[in-house]
Amino acid sequence: MCNDINILAIESSCDETAAAVIRNGREVRSNIISSQIALHTLYGGVVPEIASRKHIERINQTIEEALEEAGATLEEMDAIAVTYGPGLVGALLVGVAEAKAIAYGAKKPLVGVHHIEGHISANYIENKDLEPPFMCLVVSGGHTHLVNVKDYGTYEILGKTRDDAAGEAFDKVARAIGLGYPGGPKIEKKAKEGDPFAISFPRAKVADGPYDFSFSGLKSAVLNYINGCKMKNEEINDANIAASFQQAVSDVLVEHGIRAAKEHNVKKFAIAGGVAANATLREALKSACEKEGIRFYHPSPIFCTDNAAMIGVAGYYEYLAGTRSGWDLNAIPNLKLGER
């Protein structure tokens, strides 16, 4: 008899339709991502209605591909895991409805997964030795959270953004300098040609939240700088703006993250979410961790941005903990981490 636990995972919270098969929590048997980025690029950002429609068109095929690539059948699956929040409600609903239909039809347990828990769990895929407790900086297009991961499924949120998420700031600044969507990778590329110390952008502190972040002031500072250049008829150096902005974001994230790890005496530090794919941020965190004797973990870029493998990993640990969702599982666009 086979004791393996296989999870079929589905993710559709934003603009990627994704499905994956995960064996025993950390082995990715398949990870299929049908990206809508090219489509949303036409509009300069994600259009929720279009995202939902595309999910509907693509989800069946994406799941079939995930099973096929894994060489697996639905029968072999022990549970169906699905992101049910946070995210775009229409987009989430497509995945949730699909997962419910599959689970009901195939008589499999259904496990609703928190999207951020998925991002954090992406670290388990390639770091087989990583186990809680550890500190995790989650930086995506919708979230910037500093999370003390106390155990599987047990999270203490130490800090979060008061306004824009880090990825959102990347996207807005990219738009301001005409780089388009998605901003993060485009800023990163542009920044390679620039001087990160050419322009002094603010590193915001939040008075009553030692680990909280604020990026809207930084975004405004970039916009003001661009307007100032235009008014003075000065040349606008996009590469210097991109590099200096990226440096400012990275400095704040590293300072808060390392301080949190030290003050909580946590010796392991991980990063997650789309912005965690940024090489400048990774390098800065890596060397700050080395200096402090903290072990640094990060997923490969493919597991940083939205994918279903991470949902399968989180789903596995939820499944082991006994989490089972009912047929009334609903999409919750503002689901809080640690809530059910």
- Could you list the residues that contact ligand KG4 (CB under 6 A)? 14, 140-142, 167-168, 170-171, 182-185, 188, 273-275, 277-278, 305-306
For residues 85 and 184, which CB has a smaller minimum distance to ligand KG4 in the complex? 184
Whole-angstrom distance, CA of residue 189 vs CA of residue 192: 6
Site membership for Zn ion, residue 306 (CB under 5 A): yes
Structure tokens at 86: 């946070």
**Is residue 270 classed as helix, strand or coil in its secondary structure?**
strand
Work out what residue 182 binds among ligand KG4, Zn ion, none; the CB cut-off runs from 5 to 8 Å by kind.
ligand KG4
**Is residue 251 classed as helix, strand or coil in its secondary structure?**
helix
Axis crossing angle, helix 48-70 with helix 89-106, rounded to the nearest 10: 30
Q: How far is the CB of 90 from ligand KG4 (least distance, A)?
A: 16
For residues 140 and 214, which CB has a smaller minimum distance to Zn ion in the complex? 140
**Which residue lies nearest ligand KG4, judged by its C-beta?**
184
Work out what residue 121 binds among ligand KG4, Zn ion, none; the CB cut-off runs from 5 to 8 Å by kind.
none
b/e for 96-110, b at 16 or more Cβ within 10 A? Answer: bbbbbebbeeeebbb
Site membership for Zn ion, residue 140 (CB under 5 A): yes
For residues 67 and 275, which CB has a smaller minimum distance to ligand KG4 in the complex? 275
For residues 235 and 339, which CB has a smaller minimum distance to ligand KG4 in the complex? 339
Q: Which residues contact 231 (CB under 8 A, 6 or more apart)?
A: none
**Interaction mask 9-48, Zn ion, x per CB under 5 A:** ----------------------------------------
Parallel, antiparallel, or unpaired for β 295-297 and 144-151? unpaired
Structural Rg of the chain based on CA atoms: 20
